[in-house]
Amino acid sequence: MMPSSTLRAALAAFALGSAAFVAGRASAPSPRVFELRTYTTLPGRLDALHARFRDHTMALFERHGMRNEGYWVPVDSARRENTLVYIISHESREAADRNWAAFAADPDWVKARDASEADGKIVAKVDRVFMTSTSYSPQR
């Protein structure tokens, strides 16, 4: 479970960073579902995870209907060397299940994952939370 201070920081950064996207959007809440994910890496493997996301995963997410909303690393010394926090979104909770199934079966993902783990596994733990926007959220 993510410490509440890390969760608050990630959500605050997300809300502030997405304000530019809000201009011009309809005022009604979107049915989009946001997924907050926290990856904890094995020791010394965070750079490999960054490379995998930067070079492969983000584009594959988009290919499979997942919108990249934002990526962060904690600033506290205890987690900055082994943690990636990110938010993606889906058209609905049902779409999230379909998107993840298609992503997991994509041969390009399997190839990228296997290549990035040639020197050993990267991720030790994944936490995730599905969220919907409130009526007063800047991000809808």
> Residue 2 — very low, low, confident or very high, per pLDDT cuts 50/70/90?
low
Q: Report the share of the chain in percent with pLDDT over 90.
A: 72
Three-class DSSP category at 26: coil
Q: How many Cβ atoms sit within 10 Å of the Cβ of residue 8?
A: 11
Q: For residue 26, is it within any domain?
A: no
Assess contact for 38 and 123: CB atoms under 8 A: no
65-13-25 Cα angle (round to 5):
55
Q: Report the share of the chain in percent with pLDDT over 70.
A: 78
Assess contact for 87 and 70: CB atoms under 8 A: yes
Asked if pLDDT for residue 12 goes beyond 70, the answer is no
Q: For residue 139, is it within any domain?
A: no
How much is the average pLDDT of 62-84? 96
Q: For residue 137, is it within any domain?
A: no
For the chain, how many structural domains are there in total?
A: 1
For residue 75, give the CATH number of its domain: 3.30.70.100
Q: For residue 45, is it within any domain?
A: yes
The pLDDT tens digits of the residues spanning 74-103 come to 999 889 999 999 999 999 999 999 999 999
Average pLDDT, the chain: 86
Closest CA to 41 of 125, 130, 116: 125
Asked if pLDDT for residue 115 goes beyond 90, the answer is yes
Q: For residue 22, is it within any domain?
A: no
Question: According to the model, what pLDDT value does residue 20 have?
Answer: 38
- Max Cα separation, the chain? 48
Q: For residue 23, is it within any domain?
A: no
Q: For residue 46, is it within any domain?
A: yes
Q: Which domain holds residue 91?
A: 4-17+31-132
> Residue 116 — very low, low, confident or very high, per pLDDT cuts 50/70/90?
very high
Q: For residue 96, is it within any domain?
A: yes
